[in-house]
Amino acid sequence: MLNNLKIFLILVTIVLFQSCQNTPEKIDYGKDICAECNMGIVERGYGAELISSKGKVYKFDSIECLANYYLKNKSKEVGSLWVTDFASNKKFIPAVNAIYIKNDKIHSPMGLNVLAVETIKEKDSIIDNYGGKVLNWKDILKLVTADGS
């Protein structure tokens, strides 16, 4: 009887740890819906995710939608914020570590024309080819606030 209880407790613990994830989920482009604007997430390279401290994943079609949602819901317990690396279109980067570029030549889904990359090399390549302004996460929050989105 005691062994069955131990096994049960171990299984419950495993399930609880798995449900409290803090890593992003793959975005199902064309099927997932943005938690902020309720539009379909279709453009690769711009997706983002907020993961609550309880492991619930909120998906977004753009960096600005993530920032808007975050600003409106700061009182909720946020576990982590993630943005898609524009250069790879697949990899997620912690939002606070990403290098952001605002450039009106590269259009993001919601019109603020912001993208994120992980490395200085990627940033330099985009700036060299398209120009733009380099930002950090705090700058993104200010930009979204000023835009009134």
pLDDT for 42-101, tens place per residue?
999 999 999 999 999 999 999 999 999 999 987 678 999 999 999 998 899 999 999 999
Statement: residue 109 has pLDDT above 50: yes
Using CA atoms, how far apart are residues 54 and 35, in angstroms rounded to an integer?
17
Each residue's pLDDT tens digit, 129-138: 999 999 999 9
Each residue's pLDDT tens digit, 11-42: 444 444 444 558 899 999 999 999 999 999 99
- Residue 112 tokens, joined: 């603020």
Rg (CA), the chain: 18
Using CA atoms, how far apart are residues 69 and 17, in angstroms rounded to an integer?
26
User: Greater confidence, 109 or 12?
Assistant: 109
CB distance 58 to 52 below 8 Å: yes
pTM of the prediction?
0.83
Give whole-number Cα distances, 130 to 2, 22, 43, 103, in Å: 66, 34, 19, 7
Query: How do the domains of the chain map onto residue ranges?
Result: 21-147
